[in-house]
Structure 1
Amino acid sequence: MKCKTDKRLPLAFASAIFAAALAQPVVAQEFSDVTLRHATGLPQTYPMVVTTTRFNEIVEKESGGKVKVQMFWGGSLGGMKEALDLVSKGAADISDIVPGYFITQLPLYSMTNAIPHTFMDPAAATIALMDVSDSNDAQIAEYQKNNIKPLIFRALDNFYFMCTKPVKTMADFQGLKIKSFGNYIPKLIEALGATPVNVIVADSYEALKRGSLDCTYSSFPDMDAYKLHEVAKYITDVPMGGIVAYSDSMNLDKFNALTPETQDLLVKTGREVTLWWNEQSAADSERAKAAMLANGVEMVAFDDPEALHAAVPDMIALWVTAMEERGMGAEGKAYADDLMAKYNAAAKK
């Protein structure tokens, strides 16, 4: 006698397996349970720190509260010029690194921060830097050597000259003492016949008030944030290009010790916040300009903007020459070509 096969058995078996699967707890993403120490030299009132706050809130929410960020504002763990050491040596997990302060350690990374009058579309420069940070082997190796992992990049919109008296002509620049920093902005200022004075933005107010500075070379948000309009009422109405101001960078060893899900969350959120700030930056610049105009600042028409631009040296060429002097000529030229190709492509979009 033939046995009859119960055709319901496979279906019943499958149903039992499915029910058992449903009974199992859903495996949550394996986020690290960690509190990250973030040191910044900036005050909590500085406009661009909204990016830091936004990053922290998204990371905490998306990780279900497992990843937290403990903030140390206003240089309480160290100022902007200590930031690289703080992060690379692990005294802080994250800090705001201005690469132009660390040209010796970060010669490639500092290009978009150090050279003026080059990035007339600062948001495009930020996108280009994000791209080379992911794809350029020399840039990646430089980060690894310094034990850092940049997460958030920030565009700083076009710089202008803000002075204690109107600057309307090329002749008006002669002999002026103008705020400077880094290795390349002094060359721009000298090319205009003025004298560069190395002053950090936080000290610009007193320097302008005392007369040890005649002008600052800054963006509208920095001018407004540090109330420079109280001591200097004239802005020469010629945009001189922006920069990638700084990054929130993480200790690479600490980053690598986190779970893959946590690493992915930090990188993804950093990119999202970078692109979000690109959308906010120009509007923030206009906000700051309007606030200063309402406080009596005057936008001064320059008689020959083309002559002003023509007087400025080719900053990319100067940067490549400096790289040659460091014995990194070929590497520097290849990096500059890569970054500028990405910048030009992003600027056209």
Structure 2
Amino acid sequence: MNIARKFTAAAAAAATAALLAAPAAATDLRFATGFAPNSTGEKGALAWADHARDISGGDLNIQVFAQSLLKFTEMSGGVRDGIADMGMVLFPYFPAEYPNSTMISELTMLFASMNTGDRGGIAWAGALTEYITQHCPACVEEMKAQNQIYTSSSSTEYLLMCTKEVKSLADMQGIRLRAPGAQWTRWAQSVGATTVSIPQPEIFEGLTQGILDCSLQGAAELVDLSLIDAVKYIVRDVPGGGFGGTGQVNVNIDTWQALTPEQRTDLLKSAAYHGAVVSWNYHVNNKAALEKAAEKGIGIIDPADDLRSHTVAFIENDLANIARNYQEKYGLKDTEQAVATFKSIFERWTGLVADVQSAEELTDLYWNEALSKVDVNAYGF
């Protein structure tokens, strides 16, 4: 080898060594959510962005776009096509694209039959995270078909909020109800109510103008959507459930694969925090909103025995209907087993969250019980 070649080889080796020794460049990531600015959802996303930056040593810089980059109805395609690097994807908005995941989202009325109280949402988010990442390869594959990977979920309990007193089966006859999911629509039909389709920003107007008699919402929306000025009665425990089909941080696959294994691990750790902090904030804000409602004189009532017992019976019967519906409509396999598997996982999680007292404790649970078991070198490839 001549002197010039020796010099060139030495320089190349030195450059390669320097490159390997240098810290990875900070990665800028755009996250889109359909939550409104200053809402519980947006505040959770901003806290998550700070958390991701902290645990990655500044390596993950996440910019949050609340209702400005993509709407919830645009989210799946937007993340798929890279308009956002990451986004909050609501599976029930896209059942044909995410049938396996959407099927599970219809099971949240288990909150009522399992008597989860105000901890159904925090249990559900952990259970769904574990189920999709560890027990549902079909869920993972349907995400990949949309050029995405799933990381975590959030959830909260829904209550029946009405402008008139509704306690019994007889009271439900003819009630005009906003039901934000197929399972609640079936329940509404079973009790003689009529469902009305109204976008979330128009719920207040619907209640005040008599278009709606009742709406199913998280208690925090009493404040976030100003429903406290429209609602007169809140019914606990019936019909039960919450929104259970959240891809809290779905990541574009090209973005995911471009990250280093360390960055992927940090992103998963921060996704555990995001699901936890949003679910926990709803848990806390729901309580605070109900206290405000009581102070304002809104009636917070328990359902009559006939409405409660009808609802519990409906839930158990509807589990089989959900499995059959998704098998027939989308050609899914082993749906009864999938429902049974998730029900068992959810029951375990109701015990896991029983004594949790903070978002930090919940983050540890979501990480240790679910996301720490994901192989970042294989997942999403």
Q: TM-score, normalised by structure 1?
A: 0.85
Cα pair 2:103 2:323 within 8 Å, conserved: no
Bigger Rg, which one: 1
CA apart distance, 1:94: 1.3
- Residue 139 (structure 1) aligned with residue 139 (structure 2): yes
Distance 2:82 2:245 in 1: 23
Change (3 A) 1:242 1:142: same
Worse-matched range after superposition: 333-342 or 299-308: 299-308
- Pick aligned residue for 2:91 from 81, 96, 99: 99
**Cα distance, 1:91 vs structure 2:** 0.9
Match of 1:306 in 2: 308
What is the CA distance between 1:216 and its match in structure 2?
0.5
Counterpart selection for 2:327 from 311, 324, 327: 324
Read off the aligned partner of 2:105 and give its amino acid letter.
Answer: N
Deviations 1:103-133 (A, max 9, x none): 1111121234334422342322221211122
Partners in 2 of 1:31 and 1:336 — Cα distance? Answer: 43
- Aligned-pair identity (%): 22
Counterpart check, 1:338 vs 2:330: no
| 1:260 maps onto 2:252 in alignment | no
Structure-2-length-normalised TM-score:
0.78
Q: In 1, Cα distance between the equivalents of 2:30 and 2:206?
A: 33
Structure 2: how far apart are the matches of 1:317 and 1:263?
38
- Structure 1 segment 35-46 matched on structure 2, within 5 A: 35-46=28-39
> Residue 276 of structure 2 aligns to a residue in which SS?
helix
The 3 A distance-change label for structure 1 pair 65 and 116 is: closer
- Trace 1:78-227 onto structure 2 (pairs within 5 A): 78-119=70-111, 120=116, 121-135=120-134, 136-157=136-157, 159-227=158-226
Structure with greater helix share of residues: 2
- 5+ residue gaps, structure 1: 1-23
| Shift in CA distance, 237/124, structure 1 to aligned 2, threshold 3 Å | closer
Quick check: 1:164–1:234 contact (8 Å CA) kept in 2?
yes
For residue 104 of structure 1, what is the amino acid of its counterpart?
A: A
Determine if contact 2:179/2:195 at 8 Å carries over to the other structure: yes
> Is the alpha carbon distance of 1:274 and 1:310 closer, same or farther for their aligned partners in structure 2, counting shifts above 3 Å?
closer
Q: What is the CA-CA distance between 1:42 and the residue it aligns to?
A: 1.1
Q: Which whole-Å deviations, capped at 9, do the CAs of 1:72-93 have from their partners, x for residues lacking one?
A: 22x2222111111110111111
- 261-270 vs 115-124, which moves further: 115-124
Counterparts of 2:330 and 2:150 in 1: how far apart (Å)? 25
Q: Distance in 1 between matches of 2:199 and 2:272?
A: 28
Shift in alpha-carbon separation, 1:347–1:168, aligned structure 2, 3 A: same
User: What amino acid is the match of 2:130?
Assistant: D
CA distance in 1, matches of 2:268, 2:258: 14
Equivalent residue for 2:46, pick from 50, 53, 61 = 53
CA contact (8 A) 2:163 2:213 kept: yes
Kept in 2: contact 1:192–1:312 (CA 8 A): no
The 5 Å alignment of 1:221-260 reads 221-239=220-238, 240-244=240-244, 246=246, 247-260=248-261
RMSD: 2.3
Q: Distance in 2 between matches of 1:161 and 1:28?
A: 58
C-alpha distance in 2 between matches for 1:241 and 1:186? 13
Gaps of 5+ in 2: 1-16, 353-381
The separation in 2 between residues aligned to 1:134 and 1:312, in whole angstroms, is 30
- Match of 1:9? none
Which protein is richer in strand relative to its size? Answer: 1
